[in-house]
Amino acid sequence: MREDSLRGLVAMRALNPAAIAEAAAARVAPTSLLNEHGRLMMIAADHPARGTLGAGDRPLAMSDRADLLDRLCLALSRPGVNGVLGTPDIIEDLLLLGVLDGLVVFGSMNRGGIAGSVFELDDRFTAYDADGLATMGYQGGKMLLRIDPRDPATVSTVESCARAVGALAQRRLCAMIEPFWSRRVGGRVTNELTAEAMTRAVTVAAGVGTTSAYTWLKVPVVPDMARVMAATTLPAVILGGEVSGDPDAAYEAWRGALALPTVQGLVVGRALLYPPDDDVADAVDTAVSLF
């Protein structure tokens, strides 16, 4: 982003905050959650609000907002990409930059489980809520649901997610739940990326809320994905996860998961925004080619 563009964005925020709502009202809405391939291909950028700034071997990669916006704008411009997931600050930067016409927009809802904190699993809803998403004309909300049977804070997060699912459904907005079975190892929250653990997480997430009519799941690729995805009939998208040292292996894993009946697309963030060779366009195009 050129300095004059950055200064213009900051000036608009400082002097004309109403421009955000005006841009949302003027945005061309998508006609479907799916792209021309019949899939949802979404770029995720909600990590910074939870204090997660690293990508691969770059511990503060996502801390430069102008650079992140450049990468996002490039990724969103690629053929086959039809959506974005982010917190209000990032989505509103993109609105003011005028790059969200026709794109599916999901707002990230619970970012209060700050990475590395003692309260990480008490994942409060500190970003979007259902009313805010509906007012802005977005298509849905995403929530993180980590389940640790040994941590009492888990139950409050499950309850909060249930309320959010119901509130979104009342407004006919999609609820995207990202479930994990988790545990603390040396004080650090670790997700159990096994077929058995993910099957348990998926079945809990699928039953959350007053209705599942508008619920989608966002799941990582683990060994024996067919077994995991057989646990529910809810539509699902595959999340990209960390930047891989072997991108080709990651692409093949995504390709295999996309062949499963319930999997409807990809939601990928750092793996495409900060690929090892820093070629964002090529990384995104390769992901789209898997459909």
Gap between the terminal Cα atoms of the chain: 31
Q: pLDDT band at residue 176, thresholds of 50, 70 and 90?
A: very high
Q: Provide mean pLDDT across the span 157-172.
A: 98
Residues in the chain: 291
**243: DSSP letter:** P
Q: What per-residue confidence (pLDDT) applies to 129?
A: 98
Q: What per-residue confidence (pLDDT) applies to 1?
A: 76
Q: What per-residue confidence (pLDDT) applies to 69?
A: 97
DSSP assignment string, 26-78: HSPPPS-SS-TTSSEEEEEE-SGGGT---BTTBTTGGG-HHHHHHHHHHHHHS
Whole-angstrom CA distances from 289 to 69, 81, 164, 249, 283 are 24, 11, 34, 15, 10
- Classify strands 140-147 and 83-86 as parallel, antiparallel or unpaired: unpaired
Report how far residue 61's alpha carbon sits from residue 274's, in angstroms, rounded to the nearest whole number.
Answer: 8
| Domains of the chain, start order | 3-288 (3.20.20.70)
Q: Is the pLDDT of residue 28 over 90?
A: yes
Q: Is the pLDDT of residue 193 over 90?
A: yes
Q: Is the pLDDT of residue 18 over 90?
A: yes
- The pTM (predicted TM-score) of the whole model is 0.96
Q: Is the pLDDT of residue 177 over 90?
A: yes
Q: What per-residue confidence (pLDDT) applies to 149?
A: 96
Q: pLDDT band at residue 243, thresholds of 50, 70 and 90?
A: confident
User: In b/e form, how buried is each residue of 168-204, taking b as 16+ CB within 10 angstroms?
Assistant: bbeeebbbbbbbbbbbeeeeebebbeeeebbbbbbeb
For residue 236, give the nearest of 176, 168, 165 by alpha carbon.
176
pLDDT digits (tens, 9 = 90+) for 194-214: 999 999 999 999 999 999 999
pLDDT digits (tens, 9 = 90+) for 259-288: 999 999 999 999 999 999 999 999 999 999
Report how far residue 267's alpha carbon sits from residue 107's, in angstroms, rounded to the nearest whole number.
Answer: 13
Compute the mean pLDDT over every residue in the chain, rounded to the nearest whole number.
96
Cross-strand partners of 265: 40, 237
Instruction: Find all residues with CB under 8 Å of 28, minimum gap 6, and list them.
Output: 101, 102
